Amino acid sequence: MKISAIGLALIVFATALTLAQSQVSQAGGALAGISPAEFEEFRLGLDDFLEVEAAEEGLGPAFNGTSCAVCHNVPVIGGTGTIAELRAGRRNASGEFETLDGTGETLFHLFSVPGHSCQPILPADATVFARRVPIPLFGAGLVEAIPDETIRALEDPTDRNGDGVSGRAGMVVDVASGEHRVGRFGWKAQHATLLSFSGDAYRNEMGITNDLFPLEAAFGIPADRMRLCDPFPDPEDKPDPRTKRRGIDNFTSFMRLLAPIPRSGVDETARQGEAIFAAIGCTACHVPSLTTGPSSHPVFDRKIVALFSDLLLHEIGTGDGIRQGPAEANEIRTPALWGLRHRRPLLHDGSAGTVEEAIRRHGQEAALARRGFERLSDAEREAVLSFLRTL
Ligand code: HEC
Ligand code: HEC
With a pLDDT cut of 90, the percent of the chain lying above it is 84
Residue type, 239: P
Q: How far is the CA of 349 from the centre of ligand 1 (A)?
A: 14
Tell me which of 344, 362, 375 to substitute to probe ligand 2's pocket, judged by most ligand atoms within 8 Å of the beta carbon: 362
Q: Which residues line ligand 2 (CB under 6 A)?
A: 165, 277, 280-282, 284-286, 314, 316, 318, 332, 334-335, 337, 343, 346-348, 355, 358-359, 362, 365-366, 369-370, 373
Confidence of residue 1 (pLDDT cuts 50, 70, 90): very low
Check whether 7 has a pLDDT greater than 60.
no
Whole-number Å distance between alpha carbons of 165 and 110: 36
Indicate the average pLDDT of the chain.
92
Q: Give the pLDDT of residue 381.
A: 98
- Contact predicate 261/365, CB 8 Å: no
Q: Could you tell me the distance, in angstroms and rounded to a whole number, from the CA of residue 201 to the centre of ligand 1?
A: 6
The span from the CA of 131 to the CA of 110, in Å, is 12
CA angle 61, 65, 69 (to 5 degrees): 145
State the distance between the two ends of the chain, measured CA to CA, in whole angstroms.
Answer: 37
Sign of CA dihedral 233, 235, 236, 238: negative
Atom of ligand 2 nearest to the CA of 187: 17
What is the mean predicted confidence (pLDDT) over 242-251? Answer: 96
> What pLDDT is stored for residue 2 in this prediction?
45
Over residues 306-316, the pLDDT tens digits come to: 999 999 999 99
Nearest Cα residue to atom 2 of ligand 1: 71
For the stretch 177-226, pLDDT in tens is: 999 999 999 999 999 999 999 999 999 999 999 999 999 988 878 888 88
Q: How many angstroms separate the CA atoms of 332 and 37, rounded?
A: 37
How far, in Å, is the centroid of ligand 2 from the Cα of 71? 22
